[in-house]
């Protein structure tokens, strides 16, 4: 039995079996480069840390449920000059998540709101934060169903517990039944506890009527806007640009067009 075979049960017991993936390579490197024991151990354990970080990142991205795996590197800032590039890049540092600030992305359809929102979500995943992406319609539909089967509190936790919640297309359709109350409750529970990014085709002054109640709207918007970063984006649609501005549908431009909102 080789020394490596004897290591396997020990590594499994210590939950370090991933070390075996690079062990032989590092042993050869240690011999060829005459590495010290400390340097060999450092490189071997660094491989394991990198593997675990990569696995955890993949898990966070998967749990986030992004509609598209878009990044800021994919975004064509030159297409719509009204996009505040410096502000978006600043948000990508995820300092707003640390401060528990909100981000509101407002503008017509197709200008890239969803792309930017999900790109910020990806950045947050990389920074180690828990993230959840959902359309406003799907979120409120889930909560309405939870009301019916008595699981509202448990379902509400799905939307109130992540470090960053991305709510796409708020106001795309009128809110009905208990949806204004559910939306307010999510905003209230997340206020100064976690960050929320909301995209909407409606101007901010059009959000108040969504709640069907002036007092409820005031309470919700006061919390949502407190310390919020509001980005108003105008310009042509990535999906249906004027003939003179139609990008090549392949490569980066195609990815941007597919993810635009």
| pLDDT, tens only, 69-105 | 888 888 888 888 888 999 999 999 999 999 999 999 9
Residue 50: how many CB atoms within 10 A of its CB?
12
What Rg value do the Cα atoms of the chain yield, rounded?
23
Which of 86-90, 194-198, 223-227, 233-237 is predicted with the least confidence, judged by mean pLDDT?
233-237
- 75-79, 86-90, 191-195, 255-259: which has the minimum mean pLDDT? 255-259
For CATH 3.40.50.300, the residue range(s) in the chain are 65-259
Q: Which CATH class is domain 65-259?
A: alpha beta
Q: Which are the contacts of 156, defined by CB distance < 8 A and separation ≥ 6?
A: 143, 146, 182, 185, 186, 189
Rounded CA gap, 65 and 113, in Å?
17
* Number of CB atoms found within 10 A of residue 69's CB: 13
pTM of the model: 0.78
């Amino acid at each position: 039995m080789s020394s490596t075979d004897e290591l396997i049960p020990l590594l499994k017991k210590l939950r370090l079996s991933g070390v075996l993936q690079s062990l032989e390579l590092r042993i050869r490197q240690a011999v060829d480069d005459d590495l010290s024991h400390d340097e060999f151990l450092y490189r071997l354990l660094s491989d394991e840390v990198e593997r675990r970080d990569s696995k955890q990142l993949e898990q966070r991205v998967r749990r986030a449920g992004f509609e598209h795996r878009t990044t800021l590197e994919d975004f064509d800032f030159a297409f719509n000059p009204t996009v505040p590039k410096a502000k978006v890049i600043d948000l990508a540092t995820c300092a707003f998540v640390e401060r528990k600030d909100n981000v509101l992305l407002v503008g017509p359809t197709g200008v890239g709101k969803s792309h930017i929102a999900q790109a910020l979500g990806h950045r947050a995943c990389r920074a180690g934060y828990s993230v959840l992406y959902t359309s406003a319609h799907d979120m409120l539909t889930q909560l309405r169903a939870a009301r019916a089967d008595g699981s509202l509190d448990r379902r509400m936790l799905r939307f109130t517990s992540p470090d960053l919640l991305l709510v796409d297309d708020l106001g795309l359709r009128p809110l009905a039944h208990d949806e204004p109350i559910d939306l307010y409750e999510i905003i209230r529970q997340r206020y100064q506890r976690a960050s929320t990014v909301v995209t909407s085709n409606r101007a901010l002054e059009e959000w108040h009527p969504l709640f069907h109640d002036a007092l409820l709207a005031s309470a919700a918007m006061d919390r949502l806007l407190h310390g919020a970063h509001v980005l108003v984006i105008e310009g042509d649609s990535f999906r249906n640009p004027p003939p003179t501005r139609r990008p090549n549908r392949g490569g980066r431009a195609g990815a941007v067009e597919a993810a635009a909102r």
